[in-house]
């Protein structure tokens, strides 16, 4: 729900997971993709799917000539190493 409207308003988004080692942060963010269905994909993939849907909705509203740029960066810091 927090991703709603970020494309039409031009908002930058940061999704941040913090916690102790072994608590499931990586699994929550990345999930596990079996190639069969999307039932266990993580936050990254779900958020980007929502963003791309918003891009398509915006193009339908404003016309196919609308240009939208998206970028995803993923950084994992483990034991103070990037």
What is the C-alpha to C-alpha distance for residues 47 and 2, in angstroms, rounded to an integer?
9
- Is the per-residue pLDDT at 81 higher than 70? yes
What is the C-alpha to C-alpha distance for residues 81 and 44, in angstroms, rounded to an integer?
21
What is the C-alpha to C-alpha distance for residues 43 and 63, in angstroms, rounded to an integer?
29
In tens, the pLDDT along 38-69 reads: 778 898 888 888 888 888 888 888 887 778 78
């Amino acid at each position: 729900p927090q991703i709603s409207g970020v494309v039409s308003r031009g908002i930058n988004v940061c999704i941040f997971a913090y916690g102790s080692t072994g608590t499931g942060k990586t699994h929550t963010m990345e999930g596990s993709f079996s190639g069969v269905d999307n039932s266990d994909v993580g936050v990254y993939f779900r958020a980007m799917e929502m963003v791309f849907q918003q891009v398509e909705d915006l193009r339908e509203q404003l016309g196919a000539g609308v240009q939208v740029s998206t970028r995803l960066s993923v950084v994992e810091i483990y034991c103070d190493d990037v």
